[in-house]
Every structure is written in C-alpha cells, then in structure tokens.
Chains A and B, each alone.
Chain A
Amino acid sequence: MTLRSVPAEERGERPDRLYELPPIDTRDLMAQRSRWQHLWGLPAVRKALILVGLVLLWEGAARYQGNPLMLPGASATVRALWDGLFAGPLLARIGVSLSVLIKGYALGSLLALGLTTLAVSTRIGRDLLTTLTSMFSPLPAIALLPLALLWFGLGEASLIFVLIHSVLWAMAVNIHAGFQGVSETLRMAGRNYGLRGLRYVALILIPAALPSLLAGLRIGWAFAWRTLIAAELVFGASSGGGGLGWYIFQNRNELYTDKVFAGLVVVIVIGLLVENLIFDTFERLTVRRWGMVRGQ
C-alpha cells in the first residue's frame, strides 16, 4: 500500500469556485461530416463497390483464359442475358420459378409459425417441435425429391413439397428461439393487460421476436431458392416449360455456357434484390426503427 493521507493543512488553501455560464450556441456542437465520409457511410455504396470489383475481376479472368466455352466474360454474359430476357424464354422461366418459390415459401413460413405457436403454448407442442426439427432439418430437401415425385407426380406439387421441407425446419428453429428470448418482463406486461392465447402471441410474442423471425425468414428464403434451383436441375421441366434451373440445365447440355452464366446471374440478382430491397427495407422500417437491433 503506497496510499497515504496527506494532512489537511498540507493540501494548501483551495477556495470554493463558482462560475456564471453564458449560453452557448447549440449549432456549434454539431459539425457536418465531409461528403466522402458521408458516402462511405452508406452501405449501398460500399456494396456496389464490391460488386463492381468482382465483375472486373471476372472479366479480367475470362479475357486471360480466352475460352468462352469454359468461362464466358461479363460482357458475353450480359449479352446472353439481354437476348434471353427480351428475345428468349428467360422471363417466362423466371416467372415459373418465382411463382413456385413464393407458394412454397409462404406455406413453409405459415407452417413454421403455426408449429412454433403450438410450441410456446403447450409443453407437448414444444417437444413435438424439437423432435421434428432435429429429425428433419439434417435431411437434404433433394433427398426427398424421389419420394415427392412418387407421391405427387411430375409437377408443381412435388416442388412445393420439397420447398416446404427446406424452409420449415430452419425457420421454426429460429422463430422458436426468438419466442423463447422474449423478456420475462415483457411477457408479464402483456399478460397484465389481459392478453391471452392467440392475441398474446400476435400482439406480444411475434413483434418482440421479430429480429429472430426476420433472421428465420432470410434463412428460409435462401434455403428455398437454393432448393428450388437444385430441384429443377434434377427434375427438369414440369408441365408447360420448366423454371430457371431447367433453363440452366438445358443450356449446359447444348454447351451455351454464356446462357448458363446468364441463368446463374439471374439467380444471384434476384437473391441480392430480395435480400437488399425487401428484407433490408422491412428491417429498417421495423426492428431498426424500434432499436431492437443496432444500426449499421
């Protein structure tokens, strides 16, 4: 211990101090950031820059390699994409894929919500959910495809079946984790207002668990998209012309590699659009505004 107390008389004379504070112009307390700093602060700008870098890298690699059959460049792909969209069947293929996707995704989400609602209201429901998810979530959706074909035949129903399977379990796990993470105080406040049953779930649990719910929806979306393209590749055309996966498969068989790339670009672009426009906007309007997740 090196602390020692100095006797009061040795600390010197210190009179009380009192200041009159003049008012301060509050505008001086906030300075404008420079334009570049502001631009760099926008996530869209940073992401666009990354995309541009990747495209340049791709084009460079293609030119260096010089074999459009193996690796067509960005420019060749854009040309194929343009032709496909405005002269070819690409738009129709996208339409087919998206319509199947949205059906499967919506059904899977609703089922996940129903199952988790059951799981938070009863003990047996919770056991049911955990058992089912641990059984089925390791099972790849593609592995179910032969069975789906047997049961539902060669058509949309089989695709929707595997889509539901791919969305449901991942989403249920996330939503359930979200429900369980709702604070005890908030739960008690809700019950205090006299909320019970479904109204309690809808007015308290779902909004309170929205960050996890959104994470579940994002994961479900990625899983669904992935499963659908894979299933279409394996499965080929359903009644009246297949979807995007079928487009990619067909063009690979005919060695139109630029069209294969165009198909892949469409998959990527749709993924990016949904992620950055729909989910990010929804997140900004809800959980970010409410301060439930931190801003960027």
Chain B
Amino acid sequence: MATLDAFKKPDTLKTPDALAPRPAAEAPQQTPSPPEQPRLAVDNVSLEYRTARHVVKAAQQVSFNVQEGDRFVLLGPSGCGKSTLLKAVAGFLAPVEGEIRLDGRSIHAPGPDRIVVFQEFDQLPPWKTVKQNVMFPLLASRTLARDAAETRALETLEKVGLSGFADAYPHTLSGGMKQRVAIARGLAMQPRILLMDEPFAALDALTRRKMQEELLALWDDVHFTLLFVTHSIEEAQVIGNRILLLSPHPGRVRAELGCEEDTLNNHGSEATRARTQRIHQLLFEHQAKADDAVTREARS
C-alpha cells in the first residue's frame, strides 16, 4: 500500500524542516508536492452516469490543476457535473475518458487520502459520538492507533470549537455543528486533499456565513488543500483562491479565474463586485446562447 505508507511518513519521521515554507502550520500537511507537480491533476476527463435507460454525459473533457494549499472552487449551475466531478476525484466514479491524478498517481478507488465532506448531515454514523466519528476514519484506514487517534481527534475538535461536545451523539447536534464535525473528521485525517461537496448548502444563511468564516480561519491555521463545490457565486469568491467555471449539460470548463482578493471583509469592494458581475456574465451568457440555439433549432 504505497499510498498509506506515504501517508504515515510525517508522523514517523517528524521532520519540522519539511514544514519550513509554512511556519504558521500547526498540523503538518505531510510531504509537500514539488512545485512542478500539482497536488491534483484532472486531465481531459469525461464522466458519464447511468440511469436505468440512459447514459448521461455529466462532464466533457474537463482539465484543471489544483496546487498544494489551493482553495480551488468548482462553480456552476445545477447540471454542470461539478458534484459528479468531485465524486470522480474521490474515486466513487471512474472517468470514461482522461485521467485524474493525485500526486502523479492515477485515482482508481475511494481512499482516505481524499476525505469528502458531503452536504447531507447523515454522513456522520449516528452510532458514534462526535469524538468517535472523528476517530473513525483514522482507525478504519489504520492510519493511527487508538490512543494517537483519540489525541488527534480531541485536538481537531478543539480547532473547530466542539471540545464540549466530544461525547455527544450526532443526532443531538444542530446542522452547523454536524458539518463542523464532518470537517474536523476530514482535517484529522490530514488528507492530501480535502473535498467538499456543497457542505454549507443545507444550512441557514446566518450559519452558512459563520461556517465560511470558520473554514477560512481553519485554512489560515492548517493550510490544507481544498477542492470545494458550490453553486453560489458569492460563496465561491469568498472561499476560493481560484474558481473553475463550468457550463451545464454537459459540464465543460468555461473559465478559470483567480479570486484571492475577494474575501468576507472586502465583500462590497469594487473589484469583488466587478468579478461577481463577470462570473455571472460568463455563466449566464453561455446559457443564453444555448437557449438561442434551441429556439433556432425549433424554428427551422
């Protein structure tokens, strides 16, 4: 199991020198990827999913690279295949064309080096307490022994502000708290990349804003690599440092934009609003064109 070995390395070696480029990082993010090799490479990937009668093309020849420490956002309207793309990166779905590589190795199956935070609250096994939930992937993947896993779970829970709820069962928590547990569980694994599939979409607007702030604060602290799916332009700008715009039916890359400057603090700034406008235009214009084509086709 080469992946697992690579995974365990930093714990056994304990080389603080390897962390030199990121002195702020408390929890080390394992071996850094060399700059010329992206952490995640999605290379000309087409995806299909099957219903009982049809084979539906969800994404067509999508390519992008996620560098280490990126907060990379996949943004698009529903039906652009962004969630399907994330599931393919997670390994739940094999591409029909192209290749997805993590640290240069092709992805074939789900694995604990890519922890997914889902939108649904039932991603947390209800029979495990908050602490056990955070420990679960560490133990299931045999990354850590029980004692070490418990220590790390408590550390991570402290980071997301849930220390007081370590022994609570998930059904007693609010939606926002459940998502925080799910994020803690992902961070505790110290995955090569953290995948988030519209994690805040089922939350109310106030909680969502708070969770966005907390996620960014966590990133400032730990500097994990993040791939984030959303259908909210505003969320994409706030969370991401790069945005990949996808067009719907099938999902194709429309644009890739940097948006490091757009943060929660300067939300009303001129540049941010201009970028929102631009993204809106890029998504909307494409749809308008498609609508035109359909009407033209219908007329002829």
Q: A residues touching B (Cβ–Cβ < 8 Å)?
A: 183, 185-186, 188-195, 199, 203-204, 207-208, 210, 286, 289-292
Q: Are A193 and B140 in contact (CB under 8 A)?
A: yes
Q: Are B110 and A192 in contact (CB under 8 A)?
A: yes
Residue from A185, A193, A207 in contact with B127 in the complex, judged by beta carbons closer than 8 Å: A207
Main secondary structure of the interface of A (DSSP, over half): helix
B-chain residues with CB within 8 Å of residue A207 when the two chains form the complex? 125, 127
Mask of B164-200 contacts with A, CB within 8 angstroms, 1/0: 0000011110000000000000000000000000000
Q: Are A291 and B114 in contact (CB under 8 A)?
A: no
Q: Are A183 and B112 in contact (CB under 8 A)?
A: no
Q: Please report the number of residue pairs spanning A and B whose Cβ atoms sit closer than 8 angstroms.
A: 67
CA distance A191 to B120 in the complex (A): 16
A-chain residues with CB within 8 Å of residue B104 when the two chains form the complex? none
CA distance A64 to B87 in the complex (A): 73
Known pairs A188-B110, A189-B118, A291-B171; A194 contacts B126 (CB<8 A): no
Query: Which residue on B lies nearest to A199, using beta carbons?
Result: B140
Q: Are B112 and A192 in contact (CB under 8 A)?
A: yes
Is B98 close to A, CB under 8 A?
Answer: no
Q: Are B123 and A290 in contact (CB under 8 A)?
A: no
Query: Which residue on B lies nearest to A203, using beta carbons?
Result: B140
A3 smallest CB distance to B (angstroms):
27
A-chain residues with CB within 8 Å of residue B120 when the two chains form the complex? 183, 185
Q: Are B125 and A204 in contact (CB under 8 A)?
A: yes
Closest A-B pairs by Cβ, 5 of them: A291-B171, A193-B140, A193-B137, A185-B120, A191-B110
CA distance A215 to B265 in the complex (A): 53
Q: Are B122 and A290 in contact (CB under 8 A)?
A: no
Q: Are B140 and A195 in contact (CB under 8 A)?
A: yes
Q: Are A186 and B171 in contact (CB under 8 A)?
A: no
Residue from A188, A194, A195, A289 in contact with B118 in the complex, judged by beta carbons closer than 8 Å: A188
B-chain residues with CB within 8 Å of residue A286 when the two chains form the complex? 127
B125 smallest CB distance to A (angstroms):
7
- List B residues 137-178 near A (Cβ within 8 Å): 137, 140-141, 169-172
Query: Which residue on A lies nearest to B87, using beta carbons?
Result: A188
Is B136 close to A, CB under 8 A?
Answer: yes
Query: Which residue on B lies nearest to A289, using beta carbons?
Result: B169
CA distance A210 to B90 in the complex (A): 28
15 further interface pairs, Cβ-Cβ under 8 Å (given A210-B127, A291-B171) = A189-B118, A191-B110, A192-B90, A192-B115, A192-B116, A193-B137, A193-B140, A194-B137, A194-B141, A195-B140, A207-B127, A290-B127, A291-B169, A291-B172, A292-B171
